[in-house]
A = this chain, B = another copy of it.
Amino acid sequence: MQLAVSTDMLVEGRHFLSTVDPERLGHKALAVNLSDLAACGAQPLAFTLALAMPHVDPAWLAGFSRGMFALADAHECELVGGDTTRGPLNICITVFGEVPQGQALLRSGARPGDDLYVSGAVGDARVALEVFRGTLALPPEAFEAARARMEMPTPRVALGQALRGIASAAIDISDGLAGDLRHMLRYSGVGAVVDAQAAIPLLACREHVPESQRLEFVIAGGDDYELLFTAPAAQRDAVQRAAQVAGTPVTRIGRIDSEPGMRVVDASGRLIDRAFGSFDHFG
């Protein structure tokens, strides 16, 4: 087995709002790390937690721990060490996983002709953030659903493992589909065409978002923690079986080609000439 390691640091006001429920924050702090393991197809084993807090708040800590350990237990991932100190709120988790020798999914394996897929839903976390920012309004139920996507992301651990030997490349979406796709393309030395019509339905709350903004939220949303991956066209059935085994829907949204960069096209194949940014967490 090979050891897979990932570290993520979460800072108040940047990766989470100061008003977030500590239980959800505990979940999210571990989830974003498990998501990195998922992207390389690894099985979680253990994690360490370093925590800086401005003052000791037992109620906050109890909630944070509840959320973190509920997710850790669900993945049989054990807390094996840590550090606590006084300071501006900062949560740093390092997670360890294992993957059979040579079977890790990498960012660098995408090849021209491969299909491009995304798991789950994309863009809703960003919609929730925009509601908090006051630039959008959503009906209460739709807002709660989108907010749960932002505050309680689901790491696609089972899917990542099911895709071993099937996907040619994978990455998790934390900085937005465009931002992380560009990482993958650069590592693989390829380009990609994204089909807007296939991608827009990834936004679960799309009916509450103005049509003109839907594509933007999907492509440049951020904080989704879904898997973005590629697979040869010959693996389409295998990809769908993996999705079923993992209980996680996957959507084919485009194709890898040899022309560097990401291009988004409309239903008739015409290039949508718009700059899609990378999402820089609450930046």
Interface residues, chain A, with chain B CB atoms under 8 Å away: 3, 5-9, 11-15, 46, 48-52, 80-83, 85-88, 90, 92, 94, 96, 281, 283
Q: Please determine whether A85 and B50 come into contact, CB atoms closer than 8 angstroms.
A: no
Q: Please determine whether A8 and B50 come into contact, CB atoms closer than 8 angstroms.
A: yes
What is the chain B residue whose CB lies nearest that of A90? Answer: B90
Assess A87 versus B88: contact at CB under 8 Å? Given A7-B48, A94-B7: yes
Between A and B, 14 residue pairs with Cβ closer than 8 Å are A5-B46, A6-B81, A9-B51, A9-B83, A9-B92, A11-B52, A11-B85, A11-B86, A11-B87, A11-B90, A12-B87, A14-B86, A48-B94, A50-B92
Once bound together, how far apart are the Cα atoms of A92 and B94, in whole Å?
Answer: 10
**Copies of the chain in the assembly:** 2
**Which residues of chain B come closer than 8 Å to A85, judged between CB atoms?**
9, 11, 14-15, 281
What is the chain B residue whose CB lies nearest that of A13? Answer: B87
- Contact partner of A88 (CB less than 8 A), chosen from B7, B81, B88, is B88
What is the chain B residue whose CB lies nearest that of A280? Answer: B86
Q: Please determine whether A87 and B90 come into contact, CB atoms closer than 8 angstroms.
A: yes
**Which residues of chain B come closer than 8 Å to A14, judged between CB atoms?**
85-87
Q: Please determine whether A50 and B283 come into contact, CB atoms closer than 8 angstroms.
A: no
Once bound together, how far apart are the Cα atoms of A86 and B282, in whole Å?
Answer: 10
Once bound together, how far apart are the Cα atoms of A283 and B14, in whole Å?
Answer: 26
Once bound together, how far apart are the Cα atoms of A51 and B85, in whole Å?
Answer: 15
Assess A5 versus B96: contact at CB under 8 Å? Given A11-B52, A52-B11: yes
Q: Please determine whether B9 and A50 come into contact, CB atoms closer than 8 angstroms.
A: yes
**Which residues of chain B come closer than 8 Å to A15, judged between CB atoms?**
85
A282 → chain B, closest Cβ, in Å?
9
A148 → chain B, closest Cβ, in Å?
23
Q: Please determine whether B9 and A52 come into contact, CB atoms closer than 8 angstroms.
A: yes
Q: 3 tightest A-B contacts by CB?
A: A11-B87, A92-B92, A9-B50
**Which residues of chain B come closer than 8 Å to A50, judged between CB atoms?**
7-9, 92, 94
* 8 additional contacts (CB under 8 A) given A11-B87, A50-B94: A7-B48, A7-B94, A8-B50, A9-B87, A11-B90, A12-B87, A13-B87, A14-B86
